[in-house]
Amino acid sequence: MTLDTELRVDIQGEDADGDGVTYRYQWVVNGVPAPGATAPVFKPERLKKGDQVTTEIVPTDGKADGAVFTTGPVTIGNTAPSIVEIHLEPVPLHRGETLKVKVVVADPDGDPVTLTYKWFRNNKAIAGAKTDTLDTKEFQKKDVLEVLVTPSDGKSTREGQGLPVTIANSPPRFTSTPPTEIKDGQYLYQVAVTDPDEDPVTLELKQGPPGMTLDPATKQLSWKLTPENLGKHHVVLVAKDNDNGSTQVEFDLDAQPPKP
């Protein structure tokens, strides 16, 4: 008997006069009647490990009571701990990030609880992954990762609880910083981008001054200064992968006429 189950009395009796028989119940804990516990079912929510429970049963035909029958004692044993809350972070998850599982556990007996972890990638166990964190740099987007967490108090172990997460697409990243200086009437910027998922990346000049061009092959942004395009200009570059991921960088240029 544990604290997450219930006690139930199943009794049969007969009356010498053939009258119908009903029963009164009183549950007794450690020799003391439990207040309000007079039903045939007893939920041990208020008990603790080691308590002894009996039931006093009185048969009656409505005219006279029969002798009190006391059941044999039942001892409340150890109750396994349970997982109250479990979640993974970060969500969404991207390749290269460290995945962490956070768990809240409860033990009805107040025993200390230890947790064991087992990680899976696409339904296959990951060798050596036995902590609450998992490095995802060796995995790929769309991989399904799952952690199985099993709580134990050293005496009883609850069945493990699993939680899956899928690695989402990561957008491209700009790894270069646009210069703001215009030299000899020309602006040059060698754009550098990378994609964490190793997807192919395309660049787009979304906004810029007249005459500014972006070479898709070399990823070089160039612009020749003319008297017509002097002044301040806003530039927007967009990097896109083949899985609807995109990132943009914005910067301003101030084109001034050359000093005499």
> Per-residue pLDDT tens for 164-206?
999 999 999 999 999 988 888 899 999 999 999 999 999 999 9
C-alpha dist (Å) from residue 257 to 34, 182, 183, 189, 213: 95, 10, 11, 20, 20
Dist CA 209 CA 229 (whole Å): 7
- Please check the confidence at residue 134 and state whether its pLDDT lies above 80: yes
Phi/psi region, residue 62 (left: phi>0; alpha: psi -120 to 50; beta: rest), is: left
Question: Do the domains spanning 7-76 and 82-168 agree at the CATH topology level?
Answer: yes
Domains of the chain, residue spans: 7-76, 82-168, 173-255
More confident residue, 127 or 256: 127
If you average pLDDT over residues 3-24, what whole number do you get? 79
Instruction: Specify the pTM.
Output: 0.73
Q: What is the pLDDT, as a whole number, of residue 16?
A: 65
Q: What is the pLDDT, as a whole number, of residue 227?
A: 85
Q: Out of 3.30.70, 3.30.457, 2.40.360, 2.60.40, select the CATH number for domain 7-76.
A: 2.60.40
If you average pLDDT over residues 29-33, what whole number do you get? 94
The answer as to CATH 3.80.10.10 being correct for domain 82-168 is no
In degrees and rounded to multiples of 5, residue 194 shows phi and psi of: -140, 160
Name the class of domain 173-255.
Answer: mainly beta
Dist CA 25 CA 43 (whole Å): 14
**Cα torsion through 105, 108, 111, 114, rounded to 10:** -30
